[in-house]
Amino acid sequence: MRPKTGYLLLSVVGTMVPLSAFVPWVQMHGLDARLMVPQLFANRISAFFALDVIVSAVVVIVWALIERARRPRPYWWVPILATLAVGVSCGLPLMLYLGESDRAATRVAAM
């Protein structure tokens, strides 16, 4: 399997797996941030995971913005939107997918 295909597949998995836990919660409680935040930080281990994901999301967003300034590309905003809408598990593989697309285009142009 090519890396580009693998990254795209990982972004699909990175969407489906987290949403499989989030969608039932939303169906039960709605988008109630006053309930979500306390549950997210209910104990130290859940806070650890929440803060890790928040920091990782900031890193992906900053990386996408830096890459946009370095090498303008179409769809630079998709990993940012995916990170904000789903999470790092979707946005990061999309960022890597776009990088592979750039590398493939560079290889073709060099030939």
H/E segment holding residue 71: none
pTM exceeds cut of 0.95: no
How many separate domains does the chain show? 1
pLDDT-based confidence at residue 101 (cuts at 50, 70, 90) = confident
| pLDDT at 44 (0 to 100) | 98
The terminus-to-terminus CA distance of the chain in angstroms comes to 23
Question: What is the pLDDT averaged over residues 35-50?
Answer: 96
Six-digit token string for 40: 């997210």
What's residue 73's pLDDT?
Answer: 84
Residue bearing tokens 């590398």: 103
Mean pLDDT of 57-64: 97
Tokens of 76: 């630079």
Range of the domain at 22: 3-110
Which of 40, 65, 39 lies closest to 51 in space, CA to CA? 40
Plot region of 52 (φ>0 → left; ψ -120 to 50 → alpha; else → beta): alpha
Tell me the mean pLDDT in the region 39-62. Answer: 97
CA distance 79 to 38: 27
**pLDDT at position 57, please?**
98
What are 20-42's pLDDT values in tens digits?
999 999 999 999 999 999 999 99
